[in-house]
Amino acid sequence: MRKIDWINIPDLDFCIYDVTFHSATRWANRTVNHKSTPRARHGILYLFSGCAEFVGDDEKVILASVGDVIYIPKGERYLFTYKEETRFALIDFSAISPSGEEIALFDGIEPMIGGSSTPEIVSIFEKVEKICCEEGGTTLFRRKELLYRLLSYFTRSGGFIVPDGRYGKIAAGVQLLHKTYLENVPITELSAESNISVSLFRQLFREYYGTSPIQYRNELRINRATELLAEGDYTVAEVAEMSGFVNESYFCRLYKRTTGKTPSKK
């Protein structure tokens, strides 16, 4: 099974299949034993509330708490204990490359984003939870759509930025940007979070993402606006406000410049 090289994500392609959703609330001190029976598929776990603990074969302990997104690879052996009453949503799936080779996102159990409360993440997993509560579930294509959206978010968000090396220097600032992109957090605060100068933060950010932090933040806002418009429940003015824009006219101009379309309900 080949691990994905996230540094070269723009050049990668893979297919996901056998996608299922599961959500529930579990009581404290319940343990799930995957030591003897390895995991049959990859999993992406999100905690709405509570706290849980993974203990792998190597005895490495990973704690998961509210807002964390945890990746669990196929074939992993581990103990999983709910430390307190915990509400969660889980996506199970398999993945293959165009050549038919099995794909893994990481070598082992890894936090994909820690303590995230970004609207995209919460929205996707709320939909996962809702689908689990619906009679008859939903179509496979809908389940795939939500998982692809989740992976797309991570690959464009800096969720997979390497913690070491040259670009790892901006990781903390990138995470802060994604947690606060609906707010006008100054670049000075982002660079301070990474403990580097503003000029170096801007330089590394542009090298890695191909755009400035402000332009990138606007792209995140436009992506959120597009999803809200597609839901069809909000006016353009409401979408603008919910996407972090205080001026509706500016939002409309930026939306058209970015997408080539005027904002409207889909």
Dihedral angle computed from the Cα positions of residues 143, 145, 146 and 147, in that order, rounded to the nearest 10 degrees = 90
Question: In CATH terms, is domain 2-157 a member of 2.60.120.280?
Answer: yes
In this prediction, residue 68 carries a pLDDT of 87
In this prediction, residue 113 carries a pLDDT of 67
Q: Which residues pair with 74 in a beta bridge?
A: none
Nearest to 226 by CA among 158, 149, 151: 149
Per cent of the chain over pLDDT 70 is: 87
Kindly report the average pLDDT of the chain as a whole number: 85
User: 49 by DSSP, 3-state: which?
Assistant: strand
Q: Which bin fits 19, alpha (ψ -120 to 50), beta or left (φ > 0)? A: beta
Measure Cα distances from 18 to 7, 23, 96, 140, 141 in Å: 26, 17, 11, 8, 11
Domain extents in the chain: 2-157, 167-210, 215-259
Type of residue at 214? I
Q: Residue 251 — very low, low, confident or very high, per pLDDT cuts 50/70/90?
A: very high
Token pair in block for residue 256: 């058209």
Name the residue with higher pLDDT: 183 or 133.
183
In this prediction, residue 162 carries a pLDDT of 47
- Nearest-angstrom CA–CA distance, 124 and 105: 19
- Nearest-angstrom CA–CA distance, 196 and 190: 9
Nearest to 216 by CA among 247, 249, 261, 170: 170
Q: Residue 200 — very low, low, confident or very high, per pLDDT cuts 50/70/90?
A: very high
Can you tell me the mean pLDDT for 149-171? 68
The predicted-structure confidence for 23-78, as pLDDT tens digits, reads as follows 999 999 999 888 888 899 999 999 999 999 999 887 888 888 888 889 999 999 99
Token pair in block for residue 94: 């398999």
Q: Residue 157 — very low, low, confident or very high, per pLDDT cuts 50/70/90?
A: low
- Nearest-angstrom CA–CA distance, 63 and 61: 7
3-state helix, strand, coil in the chain (%, to 5): 40, 25, 35
Q: Residue 163 — very low, low, confident or very high, per pLDDT cuts 50/70/90?
A: very low
Is the predicted pLDDT of residue 246 greater than 70, yes or no? yes
User: Quick one: angle between helices 198-209 and 213-231, nearest 10?
Assistant: 50
In this prediction, residue 227 carries a pLDDT of 80
Q: Which residues contact 183 (CB under 8 A, 6 or more apart)?
A: 244
